[in-house]
Structure 1
């Protein structure tokens, strides 16, 4: 059976490797593995998001939705060392890597939690998931399909603080513009703040 990075139990044979995330303000060395999202290099959409978003709130509680092995969450942790960062994912292999990467890069303000595909905690999840979150950064798992993606986004966006913002990166050909329209109709006011290399950066704000 073909499995994807958003499979809760990837059966790909483990083959760890390391990659580098180099941005103008930081350099992280990350361990990756098969069965996770973009294990051979930093995904272009993720890079565009990290090169585009404004500095995260310096304090408070920040979220990386669909964190994988941690490049977004750990960038948040490095840029906001006095904030607490939570990364969530359905893939336990990815979460184990993210935890290792946080330790190896001395980013102890980042923690990671396993969730169900609908954003609810698993029986083994002990980390509070309800927030509220002052900011969300995400390269969301568009390929899970609208029937799963839309409830997932609705759940987590409603956990923003009033006035809190989420920044999402979505490929245009995977439905960035239709997602933009859907967010607006669901009471999540959204604007496109950047467009580059076929990707849109969407910013949605929870009404105060």
Structure 2
């Protein structure tokens, strides 16, 4: 795969490094994040991620939080700032993204964030809530496998909050998750995105 055609879900992107500082302003906080080429949405906060962060509610049960597809860290850092008593795990397959997320957490003085490859997450780890802008473009089968894997890590009363573009199949994904036993409903719609809340299997 050539540099210009690499995806953000490439494990070890060889795109020429072009670090930049990004300021993310949300209604309740501001983040200074370093981004780089070869990661997801390096030039601006992805609109879907913004919709998720502006609409997803606080976790309703005690426990650790999970950011699936953490990129350079906007979701994980926002969670750490909003819920300082919580441990946050960010997972991504992109090693450059993980390095950036770790550096951004350190620069922000947030020591509750751990950024890992998926296979590095302990098998017995369970989470009170998942917040994710999932990588839709990896393909339907891979996406389904990814979501089912992490939804199985929810605590019994936990919730996964997912943001998906309407025209990329948010409604059909919600239906499919419900069919798999993960009761899923839409809790917000904004700028062409749906925020979905998915429950563990009964």
Query: Which bin holds the TM-score, normalised by the shorter protein?
Result: over 0.9
Residue aligned with 1:4, SS: coil
What do the CA deviations read for 1:121-180 (whole angstroms, capped 9, x no partner)? 1xxx3x525421000000000000011110110010010000100000000111111101
Report what 1:190 is aligned to.
184
Residues 19 and 34, structure 2, Cα contact 8 Å, conserved in 1 = yes
CA deviation after TM superposition for structure 1 residue 35, in Å: 0.2
- Structure 2 counterpart of 1:102, from 102, 105, 115: 105
TM-score scaled by structure 2? 0.95
Residues 14-163 of structure 1 mapped to structure 2, 5 A cutoff: 14-57=17-60, 59-115=62-118, 121=119, 125=120, 127-128=121-122, 130-163=124-157
Structure 1 gaps, min length 5: 116-120
Residue aligned with 1:168, SS: strand
Give 4+ residue runs of structure 1 displaced > 6 Å after superposition. none
For residues 139 and 82 of structure 1, what CA distance do their matches in structure 2 show? 23
For residues 128 and 145 of structure 1, what CA distance do their matches in structure 2 show? 26
What do the CA deviations read for 1:1-56 (whole angstroms, capped 9, x no partner)? 22100011111000100101111211110000000000000000000100001123
What do the CA deviations read for 1:43-75 (whole angstroms, capped 9, x no partner)? 000001000011235842100000000000111
TM-score scaled by structure 1? 0.92
For the aligned residue pairs, the C-alpha RMSD in angstroms reads 1.3
For residues 158 and 95 of structure 2, what CA distance do their matches in structure 1 show? 28
For residues 59 and 188 of structure 1, what CA distance do their matches in structure 2 show? 20
Structure 2 gaps, min length 5: none
For residues 62 and 89 of structure 2, what CA distance do their matches in structure 1 show? 13
What do the CA deviations read for 1:77-119 (whole angstroms, capped 9, x no partner)? 111111100000000000000000000111110110013xxxx
Q: When the two structures are aligned, how many residues end up with a matched partner?
A: 199
